[in-house]
Amino acid sequence: MEEGSGWVWDSRDLVYFHPSSNTYAVSTNGEWSYVHATEFKPGEPSSAMADHRTELEEGEVRDDVGWGALIEGTERGQIATPVDIEVLRLVIISSDILTLHKVIMIDGTSPEGIQIGRDKVPGPTRVRLKEMAVSKTHAVIFRQGPEWCIVDLGSTHGTFVVSGSGAAERLSPPKHASQPHPLKHLDKITIGSTTVVAHLHPDWPCDACQINGDNMFELFQDTGKRDQTTEIEISPRYAGPRGSHEMSLLRKSLLKDNGHSATKNSVYVDRSALRRQMERPSSRRSASPPRLSEPSKPASFAARMLGKQGWVEGKGLGAQNDGIAEPLSVKANKDKRGLGDDEEDWRIRGKKKRWRELE
């Protein structure tokens, strides 16, 4: 295999792996056969590669594996294990808020894992996705034994995982936490508008997930410290009654209009005169005494009956016209009581007596 072709040597299964096509290259009887990752069975290396490993002469180094056999303390022909074997790499391939092709490195030594959420919260390290489609604590990725898992923490819009060429699978219903879902190599994780690809390499990283100095995504960790410049210390000169008086003078000087004191512009404004100029005066009530109601005339039936008897309106009743001509006036008996009226209460009499004394 030529260098720079994208093939990575797998020392465990003694095969080559191509990450972009997800294909393994297996040597059988001196010929290379290509097998897809879904059909490859690990743990069954070819006999030719095994014979080639045992036929190496003393001090000989295999060209396609680099400098691993030259390290002191290793057996002849054995390749040193890379230090990032327990590292999950997430490559950003689609996002509206993050930079594409950034690599998120997650170390499996932390028991709490890495949280994915929207806001700043005190606690473990997290990946911040600042958009409304992401919940405050959306999901968590952690290492469980030999495999990596992801758990939805009861988000609203959900976490979707695509394995291989299958359809997207939502981990849990809205507002419900999910069971740990194992992650495989090249699984796609979608949260909000961000989609990442999981890279799990047994040895060296591929070209897509290797760190080159400027493509590493910085994780967020709230240490509980706050910016000291935002804290304002009260000077000793503002302490006590004198400080309160100075603050009051400062407040008045800042709140006065156009830099002029309110006492200089305190001119009386007759608002009643302004209102009379703008609005018409209301009509006054007449001082003339109210007109007395005229006595009601007799009903038509009564007038006809009296007319048959010779009565004319305006004359008195009777044959000699010496009866009354005006109707009876109604008089109220204020000081007289009728039958059955109870005697006035002594409490009311006392109140009336005190009222008359004050008049």
Q: Is residue 110 part of a domain?
A: yes
Q: Are residues 98 and 163 in the same domain?
A: yes
Q: Is residue 14 part of a domain?
A: yes
Q: Is residue 95 part of a domain?
A: yes
Q: Is residue 298 part of a domain?
A: no
- Mean pLDDT to the nearest integer, 24-53: 66
Q: Are residues 57 and 95 in the same domain?
A: no
Q: Are residues 61 and 118 in the same domain?
A: no
The single residue listed with the structure tokens 């054995």 is 78
Range name among 93-97, 302-306, 333-337 with the lowest pLDDT average: 333-337
Query: Which carries the bigger pLDDT value, residue 309 or residue 231?
Result: 309
What's the full length of the chain, in residues? 359
C-alpha to C-alpha distance for 135 and 155, rounded to whole angstroms? 6
> Is the per-residue pLDDT at 297 higher than 70?
no
**Strands of the sheet with 139-144, listed across from one edge:** 126-128, 114-117, 139-144, 147-152, 181-183
Q: Are residues 30 and 119 in the same domain?
A: no
pLDDT of the residue at 26 = 82
146 phi/psi in degrees, rounded to 5: -85, 0
Q: Are residues 98 and 59 in the same domain?
A: no
User: How many separate domains does the chain show?
Assistant: 2
Q: Are residues 194 and 94 in the same domain?
A: yes
Q: Are residues 187 and 124 in the same domain?
A: yes
Confidence of residue 152 (pLDDT cuts 50, 70, 90): very high
pTM score, whole prediction: 0.42
Last residue of a domain, one of 70, 103, 122: 70
Query: Which carries the bigger pLDDT value, residue 82 or residue 340?
Result: 340
Provide the mean pLDDT of the chain. Answer: 75
Q: Are residues 114 and 173 in the same domain?
A: yes
pLDDT digits (tens, 9 = 90+) for 76-111: 344 444 334 478 999 999 999 999 999 998 888 777
> Which residues share a beta bridge with 127?
116
Q: Are residues 123 and 28 in the same domain?
A: no
- The highest-confidence range among 72-76, 233-237, 287-291, by mean pLDDT, is 287-291
> Is the per-residue pLDDT at 344 higher than 50?
yes
Q: Give, in degrees to the nearest 5, the angle at Cα 318 between 316 and 320.
A: 85
Q: Is residue 66 part of a domain?
A: yes
DSSP structure class, residue 153 = B
Q: Are residues 101 and 181 in the same domain?
A: yes
Q: Is residue 27 part of a domain?
A: yes
Query: Which carries the bigger pLDDT value, residue 215 or residue 3?
Result: 215
List helix spans (H) across the chain: 47-54, 240-255, 271-278, 300-308, 346-358
CATH of the domain at 166: 2.60.200.20
In which domain, by residue range, is 152 found?
87-199
- Strands (E) in the chain, as ranges, are 8-10, 15-18, 23-28, 31-36, 87-94, 103-107, 114-117, 126-128, 139-144, 147-152, 160-162, 169-170, 181-183, 188-191, 194-199
Two structure tokens written together for 226: 């706050």
- Strands (E) in 119-268, as ranges, are 126-128, 139-144, 147-152, 160-162, 169-170, 181-183, 188-191, 194-199
Q: Is residue 266 part of a domain?
A: no
Instruction: Provide the CB-side half-sphere exposure for 205 (13 A, CA).
Output: 19
Helix (H, G, I), strand (E, B) or coil at 354: helix
Q: Are residues 99 and 194 in the same domain?
A: yes
> Is the per-residue pLDDT at 154 higher than 90?
yes
Last residue of a domain, one of 147, 179, 199: 199
Q: Are residues 112 and 21 in the same domain?
A: no
Q: Is residue 333 part of a domain?
A: no
Last residue of a domain, one of 199, 221, 243: 199
pLDDT digits (tens, 9 = 90+) for 172-208: 999 999 999 999 989 999 999 999 999 988 888 888 8
User: Which residues are CB-neighbours of 102 under 8 A, at least 6 positions away?
Assistant: 91, 92, 215, 216, 217
